[in-house]
Amino acid sequence: MKNDLTDDLLLNKWYQYAAKQKGFVGIWLRRLREQQKITLGQQRNDFGANEDDFAKLQGMPLPRPNQFTKDARRIAESCHLANPSAFVKAMLLARSVERNSSSETNTSPLLMNGSYQAAYDADDDLDKPLDEDDE
């Protein structure tokens, strides 16, 4: 019985650690809470999870991009969420938020001050029609 307690403690420590790492559900759920201005307790209640299952949920790896919805549902089921659909919807929203935030920080030379910067040679005469030899 003592081993079980130690194993549970180790697992719980792992989930707490993983929840704060990139590539795990906890990071996305935290960002979603910040955006929606809700507490951890509110989010946990929305998913229908007890404290232990919610800790496990946060320590799960993110769903795979090519199986996102299916993986999110499996994660919800393995964490015994009473409302797995709420979790799946939250993960889809978090993925959109993540994509939007990463596109805003894009440092592509084509993007200047949030607008498109056309790439062309300033020495080209754009108004001059092309000769057949130039094509």
pLDDT by 10s per residue, the chain, length 135? 456 568 888 888 888 888 889 999 999 999 999 999 999 999 999 999 999 999 999 999 999 999 999 999 999 999 999 999 999 999 999 999 988 877 766 544 444 444 444 444 445 554 556 555 554
Q: Where are the beta strands (DSSP E) in the chain?
A: 111-112, 115-116
**CA-to-CA distance for 51 and 45, rounded, in angstroms?**
10
- The pTM score is 0.70
Closest CA to 54 of 65, 42, 66, 63: 42
State residue 1's pLDDT score: 46
Terminal-to-terminal C-alpha distance of the chain: 81
> Distances in Å between the alpha carbon of 43 and those of 17, 25, 50, 63, 107?
19, 13, 11, 19, 33
